[in-house]
């Protein structure tokens, strides 16, 4: 029995976005559907690892692309795990069960390049090129198959159907050409091949297509006939097993997108081929933007872990320290057992050596970026500087020595972000401390009366605008033998000129007034006295330290 169901509100908005698309990168719909197909095959592989009743013969798993110009359909088929009726409704009727629409608005997304591939909405990119999308799926272990269909309006239909084998077919009814768009290209065999090679060449399952070719007819010397020949389009050679000299920045960017590491472009990639005590290959990516769910429970830290090209773990958190948890990528080592468990990984010596090496590689890459491409590093720091500061503060400051050279703070003198090394290099000889001021914003801090004397003396002040800043600095305590000192401290360690400081006399002269003020502010202040640091403001608060 066919049922018609309504999309949820966010799904309707996103479908409208896709159906009425003005995006310039419509071709990426194919990458998204192929990646989903690859994921579906991966799920059978995962199931085989833990379920003896599920077998995984890699030759049985592949993706097929079938264009049909006459019917204007494009079919993407996989031999993956398939979907039950409930999974079809959950996966295709609801968009990622989260605030994707709010995220899209907050980030003022310019085109589909910024949203497709995030939050599980890649499937919906099919509507950029299709009038109707049909999904026929049979789940592993199920005797039933189901057909899901939508024309991208408010609703979709779902019904039982026949399908002989486990897996999923996605059939797109390709739109007719318009004055602005040539949709015929998505039915052309060689155009489809070029898109697959561009975006999905490293998918580790065969992507098969039948290509039209011609040959001489039997017994003829001049008459040709057309025939179909199946080819595997993608190389399936993992990118991390290729030489760096063979790869371009675009290859790395495409791999990043194909693996759904993010839909931003990574600002840096690190390609490691390590041999020695432990041998491994790795490709790491430093993202441009923080994932929308980075500070939620749903965020999965870790790198994909392979043993000689075979996936062991989708996310291995032991490979990354928390302060570098934004890094994405893969690690492949022949030295790891395929049968290793998550519990064993935590105590595996080889894995610990790999993790230590990766940690150092990431830091070195960030330091190189700071040194050679300051603007790019500052962009990175806007997204992930907070995480580095949490890293300094956490674990009782055990990582402070490792991370402190990467920290940046806004400078009163430079009017921009500076490192601690840069601050130290400009300190006058008589300056005893690294001074900082904490507040809600740069603008608020600049108006603080406690900064007057220091600025008047030409001393630089670091502005702390994140809640974690003071906690992190208290963990560091000193940097290159210079102690940190808050501008709110009662003693700023400034040698004032003779006669300039008359606060002791003023304290004695106004003792009754100050005692009265202290009594009126009982419980809020420990003392009231003449200030050594004020110039133009009448009063300020300070700490005893």
Q: Do 165 and 250 sit in the same domain of this protein?
A: no
The domain boundary, picked from 455, 486, 517, lies at 486
Q: Is residue 75 part of a domain?
A: yes
Q: Do 243 and 335 sit in the same domain of this protein?
A: yes
Question: Is 120 annotated as ligand-binding?
Answer: yes
pTM, entire model: 0.67
Mean pLDDT of successive 10-residue stretches along the chain, which has 545 residues: 77 70 76 88 86 87 97 97 91 52 43 40 83 96 94 87 96 94 96 90 91 90 91 91 92 87 89 91 94 87 84 86 96 76 71 94 97 96 96 95 97 96 94 94 90 88 96 95 89 60 58 68 68 58 54
pLDDT at residue 362 in the model: 98
The domain boundary, picked from 437, 461, 486, lies at 486
pLDDT at residue 1 in the model: 75
Question: Is 337 annotated as ligand-binding?
Answer: no
The domain boundary, picked from 464, 486, 508, lies at 486
Kindly state the tokens that stand for 42. 């991966």
Tell me if residue 207 falls in helix, strand or coil.
Answer: strand
Counting every residue, how long is the chain? 545
Q: Do 446 and 319 sit in the same domain of this protein?
A: no
Q: Is residue 530 part of a domain?
A: no
Q: What is the CATH number of the domain that holds 139?
A: 3.30.565.10
Question: Is 408 annotated as ligand-binding?
Answer: no
CB 69 within 8 A of CB 231: no
Q: Do 363 and 264 sit in the same domain of this protein?
A: yes
- For residues 78 and 207, give the distance between their C-alpha atoms in angstroms, rounded to a whole number: 9
Q: Is residue 416 part of a domain?
A: yes
Question: Is 234 annotated as ligand-binding?
Answer: no
Residue 262: closest CA among 327, 309, 337, 205: 327
- For residues 138 and 365, give the distance between their C-alpha atoms in angstroms, rounded to a whole number: 46
pLDDT at residue 338 in the model: 58
CB 120 within 8 A of CB 95: yes
Question: Is 128 annotated as ligand-binding?
Answer: no
Q: What is the CATH number of the domain that holds 329?
A: 3.30.230.80
Q: Is residue 501 part of a domain?
A: no
Question: Is 119 annotated as ligand-binding?
Answer: yes
* 334-331-202 Cα angle (round to 5): 100
Question: Is 385 annotated as ligand-binding?
Answer: no
Q: Do 61 and 190 sit in the same domain of this protein?
A: yes
Residue 207: closest CA among 66, 401, 319: 66
Q: Do 291 and 363 sit in the same domain of this protein?
A: yes
CB 132 within 8 A of CB 143: no
Question: Is 342 annotated as ligand-binding?
Answer: yes
pLDDT at residue 119 in the model: 35
Question: Is 339 annotated as ligand-binding?
Answer: no
Number of domains in the chain: 3
Which stretches of 275-347 are assigned E, i.e. beta strand? 280-286, 303-307, 310-316, 328-332
Residue 487: closest CA among 531, 537, 525, 437: 437
Question: Is 202 annotated as ligand-binding?
Answer: no
pLDDT at residue 112 in the model: 38
- For residues 484 and 471, give the distance between their C-alpha atoms in angstroms, rounded to a whole number: 12
Tell me if residue 480 falls in helix, strand or coil.
Answer: coil
Q: Is residue 27 part of a domain?
A: yes
Q: Do 20 and 157 sit in the same domain of this protein?
A: yes
Q: Is residue 384 part of a domain?
A: no
Q: Is residue 532 part of a domain?
A: no
CB 410 within 8 A of CB 417: yes
pLDDT at residue 306 in the model: 85
Question: Is 154 annotated as ligand-binding?
Answer: no
Q: Do 265 and 350 sit in the same domain of this protein?
A: yes
Q: What is the CATH number of the domain that holds 407?
A: 3.40.50.11260
Q: Do 411 and 354 sit in the same domain of this protein?
A: no
The distance in angstroms from the start CA to the end CA of the chain is 77
Residue 119: closest CA among 96, 145, 147, 153: 96
Which range of residues forms the domain containing residue 322? 239-372
Given the structure tokens 């999965």, which residue do they identify? 300
Q: Do 14 and 156 sit in the same domain of this protein?
A: yes
Q: Do 16 and 127 sit in the same domain of this protein?
A: yes
Q: Is residue 339 part of a domain?
A: yes
Tell me if residue 468 falls in helix, strand or coil.
Answer: helix
- For residues 103 and 363, give the distance between their C-alpha atoms in angstroms, rounded to a whole number: 30
Q: Do 244 and 209 sit in the same domain of this protein?
A: no
Question: Is 121 annotated as ligand-binding?
Answer: yes
């Amino acid at each position: 029995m066919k049922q018609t169901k309504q999309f949820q509100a966010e799904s309707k908005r996103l479908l409208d976005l896709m159906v009425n698309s003005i995006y310039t990168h419509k071709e990426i719909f194919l990458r998204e559907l192929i990646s989903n197909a690859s994921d579906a095959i991966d799920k059978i592989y995962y199931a085989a690892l833990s379920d003896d009743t599920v077998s995984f013969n890699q030759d049985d798993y592949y993706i097929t692309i079938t264009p049909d110009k006459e019917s204007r359909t494009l079919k993407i088929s996989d031999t993956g795990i398939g979907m039950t009726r409930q999974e079809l409704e959950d996966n295709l009727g609801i968009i990622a069960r989260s605030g994707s629409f709010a995220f899209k608005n907050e980030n003022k997304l310019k085109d589909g390049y910024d949203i497709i591939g995030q939050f599980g909405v890649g499937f919906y990119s099919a509507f950029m090129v299709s009038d109707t999308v049909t999904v026929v799926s049979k789940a592993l272990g199920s005797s039933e198959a189901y057909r899901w269909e939508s024309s991208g309006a408010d609703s979709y239909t779902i019904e039982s159907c026949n399908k002989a084998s486990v897996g999923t077919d996605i059939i797109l009814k390709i739109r007719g050409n318009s004055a602005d768009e040539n949709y015929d290209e998505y039915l052309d065999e060689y155009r489809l091949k070029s898109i697959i090679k561009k975006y999905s060449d490293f998918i580790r399952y065969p992507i098969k297509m039948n290509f039209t070719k011609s040959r001489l007819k039997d017994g003829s010397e001049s008459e040709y006939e057309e025939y179909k020949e199946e080819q595997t389009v993608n190389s399936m050679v993992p990118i991390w097993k290729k030489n760096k000299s063979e790869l371009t920045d675009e290859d790395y960017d495409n791999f990043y997108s194909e693996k759904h590491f993010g839909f931003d472009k990574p600002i840096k990639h690190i390609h490691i081929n390590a041999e020695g005590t432990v041998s491994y290959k790795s490709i790491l990516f430093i993202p441009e933007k923080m994932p929308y769910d980075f500070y939620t429970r749903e965020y999965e830290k870790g790198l994909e872990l392979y043993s000689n090209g075979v996936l062991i773990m989708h996310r291995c958190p032991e490979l990354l320290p928390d302060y570098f948890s934004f890094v994405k990528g893969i690690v492949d080592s022949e030295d790891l057992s395929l049968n290793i468990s998550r519990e064993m990984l935590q105590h595996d010596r080889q894995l610990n050596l790999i993790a230590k090496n990766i940690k150092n590689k990431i830091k070195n890459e960030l330091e190189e970026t700071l040194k050679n491409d300051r603007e790019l590093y500052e962009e990175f720091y806007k997204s992930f500087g907070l995480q580095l500061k949490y890293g300094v503060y956490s674990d009782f400051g055990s990582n402070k020595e490792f991370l402190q050279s990467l920290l940046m703070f806004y400078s009163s003198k430079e009017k921009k972000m500076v490192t601690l090394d840069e601050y130290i290099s400009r300190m006058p000889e008589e300056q005893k401390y690294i001074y900082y001021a904490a507040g809600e914003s740069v603008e608020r801090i600049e108006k603080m009366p406690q900064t007057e004397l220091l600025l008047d003396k030409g001393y630089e002040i670091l502005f702390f605008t994140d809640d974690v800043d003071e906690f992190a600095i208290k963990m560091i305590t000193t940097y290159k033998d210079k102690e940190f000192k808050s501008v709110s401290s009662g003693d700023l360690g400034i040698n004032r000129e003779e006669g300039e400081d008359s606060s002791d006399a003023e304290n004695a002269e106004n003792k009754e007034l100050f005692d009265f003020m202290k009594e009126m502010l009982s419980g809020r202040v420990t003392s009231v006295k003449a200030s050594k640091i004020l110039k133009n403001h009448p009063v300020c608060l300070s700490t005893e330290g």
